Every structure is written in structure tokens, then in C-alpha cells.
Amino acid sequence: MKKLIILVFCLAFVSFAANAQKFITKTGHIKFYSEGSLEKIEAHNHQVNAGLDAASGDFVFKVLMKSFEFEKALMQEHFNENYVESDKFPNALFTGKVTNIKDVNIAKNGVYDAMVEGKLTLHGVTQNAKTKGSFEVKSDKITGSAKFSILLSDYNIKIPGAVANNISKSVEITVEVNLEKLK
Amino acid sequence: MKKSIQLSVLIFLAMISIRANAQDDMMNLLNQEAKPVIDYTSATFKATRVVVGHSCEIPGTGDLLFIFSHHFGAINTGYDNLFGLKQAQVRLGLEYGATKWLGFGVGLNTLQNTWDGFLNFKVLRQSKGARRMPFTLTILGSTSIYTTKWADPTRKNYFTSRMSYATQVILARKFGQRFSLQIMPTYVHVNLVPTPEDHNNIFSVGAGARFKISQRVAINAEYYYLIPKQIRSTPATSALSVGVDIETGGHVFQIFLTNAMGENTESLITQTTGKWQNGDIFLGFNISRIFTVVKPKEFRKKK
């Protein structure tokens, strides 16, 4: 019986400890940028939700598509209505892992490389995604940064024939999230 | 003792299963923590016009919109007149979106050399999520001044006699992805009417609809029911317009058939005399081009 009590206590402690290592943000920043022969497209989203479990390395993102802001209001409307179809697919999701989380010491300030791997869901299509980024640890705060490219065709985002030559088929995504320790 | 081992194994297994779903847990945590956002409906109508009359839309904030509207002559004038191609009524217009809820514009119409100006206020915006609003409500106030020579220069003419005003309440809703509808009760005040039998205050009720047939093409229709017996000296009638919206990047191209000769709200309501059943209809088009004048903050810093 004693053993059981100890075990339960340990487990409770472990789960408590795990909870204490969760970092989240609601105001992460994602920029996307593409440069075609005619159209340069840039958009910013400052309402990115992201969460990192620094113990397990689980790393998730939830991005409201309608929160992307464009240089031209019309571009934003086209983006939501014609390209990513935000009413049908309101969010982009990423669920994955920091595969080298062991190397990131959240107790010590510094910059660490991060290998992130997981599944990215965009426009209702889920694809495997993998990128190298970095974590900057600074007293209970972790800033995650990464830059990667995706192909629009992988996510079934169609570019109409009339503008196909003007718009780039790949998009560069820059992610910056200031994760704060969950209280 | 046996029991307690069993129990601890059970707890251990439960913990493992929790670990396996940790990514989902993180996602649930995000969903709990995420603050609810207002999801505004966009593009109830693609252009600021359903066909001839105003839609509930105003230009995007900081966007200047140039609209070139063209109505040919009546189709029933036959081959001699090339089915109306020889004539034209044109309106050149500029519109600007000052904020999310305020727009204004000016136009010059060849019909009686009329200048028009308007303000539109988007009072309510259809939304879901953190705030649920079933409709978009836009209120339009406009003034038209015709500037052709006085019909009778010998009598005393007042500048105010050239003016007429329109007030329009546009109640719109986007139903799903394809279909949008708006209802627009309209009140027009004409300062000087031709005969005492004609009313100065004219009431009309309009309805407009958009049906999207592809990502970039939609069919639009608009009907302004003119309440009868208000205008006596001319055969004024209700205006019916049916058209197609084609959008290509920064342009929206609208091509349509209408029995309305006038392009400003006041003329549309009070000076539509063509009858569809007589073929007294006009082919017309609107071409709009958007220029971004003021960029969002994020894009302003650079350069």
C-alpha cells in the first residue's frame, strides 16, 4: 500500500512537473511572403496561438486564417475567399514535436537549435512538415523562430490560370513566437 | 497488495495513454487559452454596386476605387441605332474607404451633367464567433446636382432646384459561400418636380442578390420597386437590372442589362422610364479599379 501511495504521489508530481513546463502564446507572429514575376505578396498574422511542452517536445500551432493582414484589402479578400477559403477552413494547424528537445535546456539562457517535425494542416489538407529553427531561452520565456517554404499545390490551393505566371507557386513562411510559461 | 499493484499498473497505463495524446492535449490547451475572435463576413458583394445601385460594401480601408460606368442606348431602337450602341450614358466615379465603417464618393454623370456625392456608413457588420451579427447594415446618404442649362431661363431659377437627395438603408446578409441578399428601402427627395402632381418625396423598396457561380464569376440582380402614383408627369417605372460580375485581380468587371438610364441613386429611382417588356433596355458595364492609397500600419514603416 505504501508503494502505491508513493507511486501515485510520484506520478502526480511528474504530471505537475510536466504542466509546469508548458509554454504558450496567443500573440505569435507568422509572416508569409511570396514573390512572383508581377505580384509580391506579404501578409502578417499577429494572433498566432502556439504551445510548447518543454518536457516532451510537443509543439502545436493554431492559426486563424482571417487574421492575416495584407498590404491591400483586396488581396486579403482574395486570400480568404478564393485561395485558402477561410470560411470552409478557418484555421491552419500544426501538431508536431521538437525532436531534439533534450538539447534545449530551459533552465539556462541561450540559443538552441530546434528540429521540428510534424503535420501541417492548411486548406483542409494535411502534409508532413519538417524544419530547423531555433529557441532562445530567456528567463522563463522561450522565443521560437523558424523559416520554411511550402508549395501551394501541396495544399490544394489553386492559382487561376490567368494569374498563374504572376504569382509564385511557393510561399515562404516565417514564424516567431514568444512563448511564456503557463501559470 | 495484489490489488494495489493492479491499480498502480492501471494508473501507469492511463498515464501512458495521456502521454500518447499529449499533442492533442496541447491543442486543447491552446483552444482553451485562445481568446475568441470576431469572424467578420467578407465579400457579401464583390463590388460597391450590386448592378447599378449601391451594395452594402464600401471600399477597403485606405483603398481608392475608380468606377467607370457605361450604359448604351435602348436595345429596341433597332439596327439604325445599332441596338443602342451609338449612344451612351457614362458615369465617372471615385470612392474611398476612410475606415472600416465609413466610405464616401463623388461621380460625374453625362445624364443631365449631374454631379453626385455620397457618404456611406457601415453601421453593422455581419459576423460570427465572439460576436454574432446576422446582418450587415449600411446607410447611404447622397446628393445629386444636375448642371445642364435651365429649361426656362426667363423665370427666376434657384440653385437648390437642381438638387435631389437620396437616403438608403441597406440591410444585407451573406447566406453561406454562394448567395447574398440585400434589401434597401430608399427615400428620394427631389427639390423641384416638373408638375404639382409629382411628389417631391419618392419612396422605393429595392432588393439585390448575388449568386456565385465560380470563384470569380457571380450573377447579380437588382430590383427597385417604385411605389406607384408618386411620379405623374413621366412614365417612371421600377428599375430591374441583371448582370454578371467577373473579377480579375484588382478589377471587377460588371456587364449587365437594365432599364435604368441613370447611374446615380436619385436618377435610378426617379428617372427610370424604360420598360423591359418593350425591349426598352440598355446594355451596360461597370469597370472598377482599386488603388491602395493608405497601406496598413505594418506595411507603412518600410521604405
Task: In whole angstroms, give the CA distance from residue A87 to residue A80.
Answer: 8
**Which residue of chain B is at minimal alpha-carbon distance from A7?**
B8
- Give the pLDDT of residue A15: 53
Better pLDDT: A88 or B35: A88
CA-based torsion, B153, B156, B160, B166: positive or negative = negative
Q: Which of A1, A58, A88 sits opposite B4 (nearest CB)?
A: A1
Domain spans in chain A, listed from the N-terminal domain onward: 23-181
The domain containing residue B123 runs over which residues?
45-294
- Give the best residue of A58, A69, A75 to mutate against chain B (max B CB count within 10 A): A58
Task: In whole angstroms, give the CA distance from residue B160 to residue B157.
Answer: 9
Class of the A23-181 domain?
Answer: mainly beta
Q: Do A64 and B1 touch (CB under 8 A)?
A: no
| Interface predicted TM-score (ipTM) | 0.74
Q: Which of B15, B22, B290 sits opposite A74 (nearest CB)?
A: B290
Q: Do the domain assignments include residue B299? A: no
Q: For each of chain A's 183 residues, which pLDDT tens digit applies?
A: 667 666 666 555 555 555 568 899 999 999 999 987 777 889 999 999 999 998 899 999 999 999 999 988 888 888 998 899 998 999 999 999 999 999 988 889 999 999 999 999 999 999 999 999 999 999 889 999 999 999 999 999 988 777 777 778 889 999 999 999 887
A54 closest CA partner among A88, A112, A98, A93: A98
Q: Name every chain A residue with its beta carbon within 8 A of the beta carbon of B60.
A: 72-74, 76-77
Report pTM. Answer: 0.83
In chain B, how many domains are there?
1
* Mean of all residue pLDDT scores within chain B: 91
Element (H or E) spanning B8, and its range? helix B2-20
Domain containing residue B117: CATH number: 2.40.160.40
Q: Which of A26, A42, A60 sits opposite B26 (nearest CB)?
A: A60
Tell me how far apart the terminal alpha carbons of chain A are, to the nearest angstrom.
33
Q: Name every chain A residue with its beta carbon within 8 A of the beta carbon of B29.
A: 22, 24, 51, 182
Q: Do the domain assignments include residue B78? A: yes
CA distances from A57 to A70, B26, B79, B150 (A): 32, 11, 77, 81
pLDDT over 90 percentage in chain B: 74
Q: Do A3 and B8 touch (CB under 8 A)?
A: yes
B290 closest CA partner among A42, A169, A70: A70
User: Residue B299 — pLDDT band, cuts 50, 70, 90?
Assistant: confident
Q: Do the domain assignments include residue B135? A: yes
Q: Do the domain assignments include residue B12? A: no
